[in-house]
Amino acid sequence: MKCDNCNKPATVHLTEIKNGKKFEKHLCEQCAAQNEGLPVKSHTPINELLTNFVMAHSGIQKEMALECEHCKMTWAEFRQSGLLGCEHDYDQFSKDLTSLLQRAHEGATHHTGKAPARAGAPAEPKRRKTIDVTRLKKELATAVEKEDYEHAAELRDAIRQAEAVPES
């Protein structure tokens, strides 16, 4: 069907009833906007809609099919049972696990507690930073007082470094 005004294909179909009489109009998008003041937004073509849908769906599917190369646990399997298959899963699924961990642990994503002796010193918790800097500054003052400039220089560098790291 062609537009009543021009030769473009009619995509807007209006039915008006005036004084009991029915009028039908078939317009293209442009004429509908100009003549009738109907702002018709250009529709997303169906193929684009489909593509988006398929893409989004395949994204989920891809995520669900994500598999640990060590234990063969898939993300879908984990979501169903809630239990992981091996220690490597934490690295294999680390991206997807982050939001889950934050929900379960009051927003935390890093361990700050005990570490086995072989793992060396535990990761320094970030929120301890302020306390650490205060302590370092005190130590610096003592070092200067004792004229231990070598240690003071080390402390100064440590303070600079600590203060350069933005608060997370």
Q: Is residue 97 close enough to count as binding another protein by CB under 8 A?
A: yes
* Angle formed by the axes of helices 149-164 and 129-145, nearest 10°: 160
Q: Which of 16, 65, 90, 131 binds another protein (CB under 8 A)?
A: 90
The stretch among 7-15, 57-65, 78-86, 160-168 that binds another protein (CB under 8 A) is 78-86
Cα angle for residues 77, 80, 82 (degrees, 5° grid):
95
Min CB(68)–another protein separation in Å: 9
Site string for another protein, 10-29 (x = CB under 8 A): --------------------
Tokens 């684009």 belong to 48
Q: Does 124 bind another protein (CB under 8 A)?
A: no
Q: Which part of the chain contacts another protein (CB under 8 A), choosing from 16-24, 77-85, 140-148, 152-160?
A: 77-85
Residue 106 to residue 137: CA distance in whole angstroms: 31
Q: Which region among 31-39, 65-73, 130-138, 148-156 touches another protein (by CB under 8 A)?
A: 65-73
Q: Is 130 in the site for another protein (CB under 8 A)?
A: no
Quick one: CA torsion of 145, 165, 104, 121, rounded to 10 degrees? -50
Closest CA relative to residue 10, chosen from 25, 23, 28:
28
**Nearest Cα to 40, choosing from 51, 26, 30?**
30
Cα–Cα distance for residue pair 28/15, rounded to 1 Å: 15
117 counts as binding another protein under rule CB under 8 A: yes
* # chain residues binding another protein, by CB under 8 A: 35
Phi and psi, residue 36, nearest 5°: -105, -5
Interface with another protein includes 145 (CB under 8 A)?
no
Query: What is the contact surface with another protein in residues (CB under 8 A)?
Result: 70-73, 81-87, 89-91, 97, 100-101, 104-119, 123, 125
